[in-house]
Amino acid sequence: MKTADQNGQLTAKDFSTDQDVRWCPGCGDYSILKQVQSIMPEIGRKKEDIVFISGIGCSSRFPYYMDTYGMHSIHGRATAIASGLKSSRPDLSVWVITGDGDALSIGGNHLIHMLRRNFDLNVLLFNNEIYGLTKGQYSPTSPEGKVTKSTPIGSIDHPFNPLKLCLGADATFVARTMDRDPKHQREILLKGSQHVGTSMIEIYQNCNVFNDGAFEIFTDKQSKAEETLMLEDGQPLVFGAENDKGIRLDGGQPTIVSLNDYSKDDLWIHNEKDKFKAQLLTSFFDNPSVEGHLPRPFGVFYIEDRYRYEDAMAEQLEFAKEQKGEGDLDAILRGRNVWKVEA
Amino acid sequence: MSKTVEEKKEVTIVFAGDSGDGIQLTGTQFTNTNALFGNDVSTFPNYPAEIRAPQGTLAGVSGFQLQFGSVEVSTPGDVCDVLVAMNAAAFKVNLPRLKKSGTVIVNTDGFNARNLKLAEYDTNPLEDGTLNDFRTIPIDVSKMTRMALVDSGLGKKEVDRSRNMFVLGFLYYMYNRDMKATENFIREKFKKSPELVDANLKVLKAGYNFADTSETFTSRYNVKAAQLKSGEYRNIMGNQATALGLIAASKKASRDLFYGSYPITPASDILHELAKHKNFGVKTFQAEDEIAAICTVIGASFGGQLGVTASSGPGIALKGEAIGLGVMLELPMVVINVQRGGPSTGLPTKTEQSDLLQAFYGRNGEAPMPILAASSPSDCFATIFEACRIAIEHMTPVFFLSDGYIANGSEPWKFPKSADLRAIQSRDWNPDENAEYQPYLRNLDLVRSWVTPGTPGGEHRIGGLEKEDVSGDVSYDPDNHEKMVNIRREKVEKIANTIPLQEVNHGAESGDVLMLSWGSTYGVVKTAVKEAYDKGIQVGHVHLRHLSPFPKNLADLISKFKKVIIPEMNQGQLLKIIRAEFLIDAQGLNKVKGIPFTAEEILNRIEKEVG
Ligand code: SF4
């Protein structure tokens, strides 16, 4: 087993285990695993200080394939387990691996509470809009009308908009990327790892067995440029096959304009620190088949610097020590009112 | 007028009033003063079912019962000698507990037409002959308090709020007690508002003086100090002792304490107590729900800390799946269940022992866990300490059972010195012996080692899927699964080698009847067995702290008695286990009323068995 004081000496291979990877051939999870392994040597952490925690679902087998510390826990609870780990061990680099069912359905409560507490950890939400491990039921992100084994006439559930939900829970780092764009994924993962606070990264992941092509319109070379909006801090919102379209804020209303009519200076300039605009951006969630729909944004929507729960917790412990001195066990066992019984 | 002094061996008093009357505080002060004086004491706070029940109603009655004595006191008393009732509803609810010819101290102001109606009285019990069999001391406490504070400048509401001090002062005179401890308490409690310190001290003294000068009663009582074992004592409540035990275990294990919990009656006071002791490095985490609470504990334990969660039955039900994960991961953690009346929301403020089978079997799959139960408020300390020891030294989640009665009750505690508490030693990994870390490599006790993130070379993955013996890799192999199920069971069974042999706690070592008890019934069973034994009945008392695994000699002890009776505040849960485990015809004595047994109920059963 190889360990190194300097992660610079390690390579992606040092983070892979001897376990057979058990995902279906062609599953989008492979690409994510590869990218995560590839950034590990660059995040500036010792291997033994890195922990991957997952819940249940296809994606949650992830920790078995990472040669770090790891826990494959129970359905929906990875976020809560990571919260406890990070509270007690602020020194660790903690990564939560979860899916749309795990994080947004059974584990929805823990997700929002973890986000508001803003632990310094990273969440990779593999969104494939389906339950894969249980063989194909609709998930909380499946679109209305989705025909699955449990919804033969189509789903009547209105789906979650995950990033809007996260922003609503006051997440301090909100981003979206996709399995089919390794370069973009890598960039976002690295950015997330650098954020001090909870970085919430939604990854569109193709389940080629039960929901093949769910995100094809965003990932396919033919349609990608027209359907996606790549966010870059300080840059205008430009998209389109010819980079000929932009988003303008028209009295608070995002509108698609042609760059033949407007210059880039007229466009909405992306600002990662702008919470209100980030909320608007997460609302770019139109069904791509609807006429005049907005493109789907990818990249970092929002970054905020806010105190971390574990830091505040540690400060309180320090404060208590300053006020009362280091805990004296005999003193609390005695209490204040003692009487003596003579022999 | 001068009063005679009567000696009493033990006295039981019930304080009762509206939840806003400061009943718990009055009871606690009276208890502390008696304990400091040297009496043995045992208390039983009886909280109203509805925290915000309308004033003066039967649902809003708060009670505090205590027994204190110059002799050993093991229970808060079956029936009371004195009832202090602040209003008609409090009087009505508690009168059935008053013994014939007992004393009633009533606040007459709490018996006006409105109070009587709220208490559903057609006639005034103070006047209609209800009290003929009792000695009644009627006092208009409100009026006396207002008179004492006529110049205080305080509003009527604040004045009335100190009425309880009048009653307390009155009783201090009646029982010949020094008021210093309460005076100091008042100074401390109201230190931010000197006018309230003055007012409360004034009313306390007014009550004392009123008792002295009025002709409401003729004799004072003297309850001498008890002959407790020599040493230093303090008074302690169950939840408080549990919290201190956790802190002590964390110190002795050199592991920081992480306490993740969600507020629930009657366990929340442990959280409150621990939150006061952050200077011990105690991390308290109020989670978003019960499941998150246990999951944060699993995370903390994986991180190398002493992880503890607490709840009551409904919350434990929610935690079940995650506790099972703890069993599978073989990580140390302690799960506290302060039991209350069930099922469902049940009786949140009342006591019961009906979650024992939940502790044994409330998880999916074969998921054995050690289970310990405290027998009294002060015993929570030693029992939770032992629970932590087992968790850490045997790498397993452990159940610690308490209940509402123990949690809120109090008694004198001969507290230990920290130096006398044993060290708790976790099993570490020695890279020199096994260069490649194998998470499920075990020692002879089948205990795996606790290697936590940050340890170079120890990187490993654990999870809820069945794992291969030794390596911990995921395994679906049928033989391996059965092997692992057996190992997890044997690991728990082997703990029996590290716990003390069971003793007969009281009474006969062999004979006609064995009273086999666990948890909070300890005091009443002890009292009843001693009494029966003194009458010549061959009855013994065995009280179990360890419910899983049982002490190794339990079968042997049981076999020395003709009959085994198991008293429980449930419908026979330990009974089922004992019958199944030892194939004996044990019988139950069961009570499921949300209130503890009386010693008399136990004694009657013993006498019936030999009669
Ligand atoms: S079921 Fe879908 S998500 Fe799961 S491994 Fe197979 S392709 Fe991937």
Residue A46 contacts B where some CB pair is shorter than 8 Å:
yes
For residue B296, give the nearest of A69, A87, A341 by CB distance: A87
Nearest CA to ligand 1 atom 8: A27
For residues B324 and B389, the answer to whether their CB atoms sit within 8 Å is no
* HSE (side-chain half, CA atoms, 13 Å) at B445: 17
Residue B43 in this model has a pLDDT that exceeds 60? yes
Domains of chain B by start residue, with CATH? 4-217 (3.40.920.10), 235-420 (3.40.50.970), 506-610 (3.40.50.920)
Q: In a mutational test of the pocket of ligand 1, which residue from A54, A125, A210 has the highest number of ligand atoms less than 8 Å from its CB?
A: A210
The interface predicted TM-score of the complex, written ipTM, equals 0.97
Q: Does A135 touch chain B (CB under 8 A)?
A: no
Distance B321 CA to ligand 1 centre (A): 25
* Cβ-based contacts of B462 with chain A (< 8 Å): 70-72
The owner of tokens 């020692």 is: B443
* d(CA A327, nearest CA chain B) in Å: 4
Q: Name the residue at shortest CA distance from atom 3 of ligand 1.
A: A207
The answer to whether residue B447 scores a pLDDT higher than 80 is yes
Predicted pLDDT of residue B46: 86
Closest CA relative to residue A313, chosen from B309, B300, B333? B300
Amino acid A1: pLDDT: 41
Mutation target to probe the A interface, by most A beta carbons within 10 A, among B254, B294, B302, B388 is B302
Start-to-end CA distance of chain A, whole Å, equals: 63
How large is the average pLDDT for residues B169-188? Answer: 95
- Kindly report the average pLDDT of chain A as a whole number: 95
pLDDT score recorded for residue A7: 47
What lies within 8 Å, CB to CB, of B401 at 6+ separation is B336, B337, B339, B353, B355, B356, B359, B371, B372, B373, B374, B519, B547
pLDDT at A107: 98
Contact between residue B114 and residue B56 where contact means Cβ atoms under 8 Å apart: yes
Question: Going edge to edge, which strands form the sheet with A245-250?
Answer: A238-239, A245-250, A253-258
- Average pLDDT value for chain B: 95
Nearest residue of B to residue A113, measured between CA atoms: B288
Q: Dump pLDDT digits (tens) for B410-445.
A: 999 999 999 999 999 999 998 887 788 999 999 999
- Within an 8 Å CB–CB cutoff, is residue A7 touching chain B? no
How much is the pLDDT for B219?
A: 85
Task: Please tell me the residue having the least CA distance from ligand 1 atom 5.
Answer: A23
Beta strands in B175-291 (DSSP E): 219-222, 231-237, 257-261, 283-286
Record: contact B295-A67, CB cut-off 8 A: no
pLDDT score, position A274? 98
B464/B520 Cα distance (integer angstroms): 35
**Cα separations in angstroms, A155 against A99, A127, A262, B109, B479:** 19, 17, 41, 66, 42
pLDDT digits (tens, 9 = 90+) for A147-188: 999 999 999 999 999 999 999 999 999 999 999 999 999 999
Query: Which regions of chain A carry the CATH code 3.40.50.970?
Result: 7-230+272-309
Confidence of residue B52 (pLDDT cuts 50, 70, 90): confident
- Does residue A2 carry a pLDDT above 50? no
Tell if the CB–CB gap between A49 and B453 is shorter than 8 Å. yes
Summarize pLDDT for A58-84 with one digit per residue, the tens: 999 999 999 999 999 999 999 999 999
Q: What is the pLDDT of residues A259-311, one digit of tens each?
A: 999 999 999 999 999 999 999 999 999 999 999 999 999 999 999 999 999 99
H-assigned helices in B440-553: 478-493, 522-534
8 Å CB contact between B34 and B177: yes
Residues in contact with ligand 1 by the CB-under-6-Å rule are A 23-24, 27, 29, 58, 128, 132, 207-210
At the topology level, CATH places domain A7-230+272-309 in: Rossmann fold (3.40.50)
Cβ pairs A/B, distance under 8 A: 216
Residue A285 burial (10 A CB sphere; 0-12, 13-18, 19+): middle
Report the residue from B280, B292, B307 with minimal CB separation from A327: B280
